[in-house]
Amino acid sequence: MKNILLLGATGSIGDSVLSVIKQNSDKLNLTAISFQSNLTKALSIIEEFDPNYVYCESKANLSSINDSLERSEGIELFSEKSELEYLLKHKSIDIIISAISGFSGLETTFMAVQTGKIILLANKESIVVAGDIILPLAKKHNTKIIPIDSEHNAIFQCLNSEKNTNDVSKIIITASGGPFLNQKIDDLSKVTKKEALNHPNWKMGSKITIDSATLVNKCLELIEAKYLFDLNEEYFELVVHPQSIIHSIVTYKDGSSICQMSNPDMRVPISHALSLEESRLSLDFTKINFSSLNLTFQEFPEDRLEIANLAREVCNTGGSSGTAFNAANEIAVENFLNGKITFNKIYEVIYRTFNAVPVSNSINIEAIYEIDKQTRMEAKKVVKSLT
Ligand code: NDP
Ligand code: MG
């Protein structure tokens, strides 16, 4: 039995993980969860999966849980950071799943990589903002990171039989193109929040759904891939594949290209990751109907190359540049979602903010938090100038 700590249990990735655990309850056990605000969902997870530990920063939420539970024995409720650290290191936990959204996921990912356990990583932002710190720390503590972001999990699977990446010639990261595929940035000034949140292939949390609509998600994924696979950005090509069936392609230097395919369903990469490269888990998935399959590919849209090139610059610069890129994007997305800026201005907020903050190459975790804070302040100024 593998015992799991699910960070961000009440989110969209949380849902997919819980579904995989439910279908493999003879092999997987939900030992602990964390959540932030969705009390109703947290309660229903606790009722159904009976975890031993629950972490939430809000003491009020924990006391509501305590009041609602029919039995309170056998469950420990934690709200202090020291308790979270204790939980991450607890010997009853085998696998930590990092599925908190955005920069907020950094703190737990940073703690988790120092446990020497297995981490299933959904929170790409923690790698984008602190890849130069997280990856060396994981190596130092012998912590294995298995990606569950679908593209990275696909690459991971395609590389599986290879001992290293020496024979790789190119890696294609596929992008669905989002709801505004084939539309120019300049034509997107009037799109509504509802339209931007209506992703054609994936049901996800709102932040990543907007990132998919702008294609900034692909930029974050490029940076994530550079760190996870320790390859120069030049190895990675971003290609639009609207059906989201092929999740990425690895081409070897002898001309073989290997891809991973499935219908767009996050439970597939999660199942793979949770198998820990042992026997595959069973999943009740929707099979691809190959006889009616029509796979198409197109170049990354020309007017989004500027943002992709900024991500390539981040890959080459490292240090705090990813922190600035991410913080600028988070503020831009937040302000689009709260109606302060139009969709097309998300890019402008990122460019102007990124260019206004200095890059530091010698960084530690405290510096990351400071740069994140400064960049957010700068981005808010840019937003203000646009409203
Ligand atoms: P959601 O917004 O659906 O869920 C986020 C989760 O994080 C919730 O459990 C939420 O708690 C918790 N959370 C949010 N802020 C905080 C905080 N400050 N402290 C503690 N917990 C917090 O996001 P997704 O599940 O869509 O995405 C999670 C991560 O996975 C992101 O980094 C995303 O990029 C990545 N990812 C997601 C994919 C998807 O299909 N959804 C695909 C690939 C990657 P609560 O709801 O209780 O407030
Ligand atoms: Mg992805």
Q: How far, in Å, is the centroid of ligand 2 from the Cα of 222?
A: 10
Whether the model clears a pTM of 0.95, i.e. scores above it, the answer is yes
Q: Which residues have CB under 6 Å of ligand 1?
A: 8-14, 35-38, 99-101, 104-105, 122-125, 149, 202, 204-205, 208, 266
Do β-strands 246-252 and 168-175 pair in parallel, antiparallel, or remain unpaired?
A: antiparallel
Helices 365-386 & 124-140, crossing angle to 10 degrees? 170
* Ligand 1 atom closest to residue 41's alpha carbon, by position in its atom list: 47
> How many CB atoms neighbour CB 194 within 10 A?
7
**How far, in Å, CA of 217 to CA of 210, rounded?**
8
Per-residue pLDDT of the chain (387 residues; tens, 9 = 90+): 999 999 999 999 999 999 999 999 999 999 999 999 999 999 999 999 999 999 999 999 999 999 988 766 679 999 999 999 999 999 999 999 999 999 999 999 999 999 999 999 999 999 999 999 999 999 999 999 999 999 999 999 999 756 679 999 999 999 999 999 999 999 999 999 999 999 898 889 999 999 999 999 999 999 999 999 999 999 999 999 999 999 999 999 999 999 999 999 999 999 999 999 889 999 999 999 999 999 999 999 999 999 999 999 999 999 999 999 999 999 999 999 999 999 999 999 999 999 999 998 888 999 999 999 999 999 999 999 998
Domain ranges of the chain: 2-147, 149-305, 319-387
Q: What is the DSSP letter of 239?
A: E
User: What ligand is nearest to the CA atom of residue 211?
Assistant: 1
319-387 is classed CATH 1.10.1740.10: yes
Cα–Cα distances in Å, from 189 out to 183, 200, 212, 262, 344?
11, 20, 17, 34, 5
Q: How far, in Å, is the centroid of ligand 1 from the Cα of 64?
A: 22
Ligand 1, residues 12, 81, 153, 173: which to mutate, most atoms within 8 A of Cβ? 12
Q: How far, in Å, is the centroid of ligand 2 from the Cα of 162?
A: 22
Strand partners, 7: 34, 98
Could you tell me which of 374, 266, 267 has the C-alpha nearest to residue 320? 374
Largest CA distance in the chain: 63
Ligand 1, residues 35, 57, 101, 210: which to mutate, most atoms within 8 A of Cβ? 101
Class of the domain covering 2-147: alpha beta
Cα 376 to its chain centre, rounded Å, is: 20
